[in-house]
Amino acid sequence: MTNRETDALPDPGKIRGFQKVTSADGFFITCAIDHGDDYRELIDPDLEKVPYERTVESKMKLVDALSPYVSSFLLDPEYAAAHSIFSGKLQRDTGLMVCVEEEGGYLGTGPKGETRFRKNWNAAKIKKMGADMCKLLWFYRPDGPIDEVQRDIVSGVVKDCAAVSIPLVVEPIWNPLEGEDTSLDAWQDRRADGVVESAVVACELGADMLKLEFPGRVDTEEQQRAAAARCRSISEKVDIPWVILSAGVDYDAFRLQVQVASEAGGSGFMAGRSIWRDAVPKGGSESSSEGVERATSRMAELAEITAKYGTPYKPVMDLASVTGSLEKHWYHDWR
């Protein structure tokens, strides 16, 4: 268990948060349903035909169906987070992560991909509502025009989370700059290398965990080897747990990505559309039972792959270390 505060006690609030969002064997088996308009577009491309209530109902059906197969959910405050608590769809032993950023940032509509925050929403409120972890989407490129601005954003949220003892997972996104051709192999390779660079910077800025794009492709054996090497580089260069996101890729490709990342030191995944896209009801229809069954089967299969190949994260201390670190009245001076 790492502790970057010299001569300071580990934060029990953060440790408890990690314990809540991981499986019993220490893996992040996390279903991400924190999507906004891109989720609603799956119901109907004409968003005026997708009322608030319909979106909430759809997300709660997913939470209900997938709960037995996950260690935690990543949910948004607008349509899902509190709703899952009030409705009882979020199980007692299931962890809850909540995003702090504005959806517009997720869709890349901010200036040059700049991360933006939801109005009147922050780490303190996420903690107060009972969530176990705060998630920050972070557009970052060291060669981009807003490098320092984005660094300051992470540093600020790190401080906000530390103040209320909630762990922070940072999700770096390598966004294309104006004029770049993203179809070129050279750009794809640069992006993959950038995933490693961004992971290191986020760790240095104080993130407690990383949700990463897969650093490469898996279309050929050569690409798989290159991606595995980058994943091993991440494990060597950061001292915090990391998982991969799905980015809506084909499920078969994501399944292979999970195995490659797990074998190289990853501790799980936070997957969304690659898992549940087929289960989202279209138009006025009900949820597809076949789609829901497919989503649950995928979660179970990914969990099995992660447990077989991944690196567990269990932020615990042996009892002798605990009693050696904690004086009887440790809480008098804590915070």
Which domains are seen in the chain, by residue range?
12-332 (3.20.20.70)
Neighbours of 4 (CB within 10 A): 12
Per the CB < 8 A criterion, the answer to whether 23 and 71 are in contact is: yes
pLDDT at 116: 82
pLDDT given at position 110: 45
- β-sheet bridge partners, residue 211: 243
**Which backbone phi and psi does 96 adopt, to 5 degrees?**
-130, 120
* pLDDT, tens digit, 9 for 90 and up, residues 216-271: 999 999 999 999 999 999 999 999 999 999 998 999 999 999 999 999 999 999 99
**3-class DSSP state for residue 134?**
strand
- Proportion of the chain above pLDDT 70, given as a percent: 92
Q: What is the pLDDT of residue 112?
A: 53
Identity (one letter) of the amino acid at 271?
A: A
- Give the Cα separation of 202 and 206 in Å (integer): 7
As a whole number of Å, the end-to-end CA separation of the chain is 20
In the chain, which stretches have pLDDT less than 70?
A: 1-8, 104-113, 146, 283-287
Tens digit of pLDDT for each residue in 106-147? 444 444 567 888 999 999 999 999 999 999 999 888 777 767
3-state percent helix, strand, coil for the chain, nearest multiple of 5 = 50, 15, 40
Residue 85, classed as helix, strand or coil, is helix
The pTM (predicted TM-score) of the whole model is: 0.92
* Residue 17 CB coordination number (10 Å): 28
- One-letter identity of residue 139: F
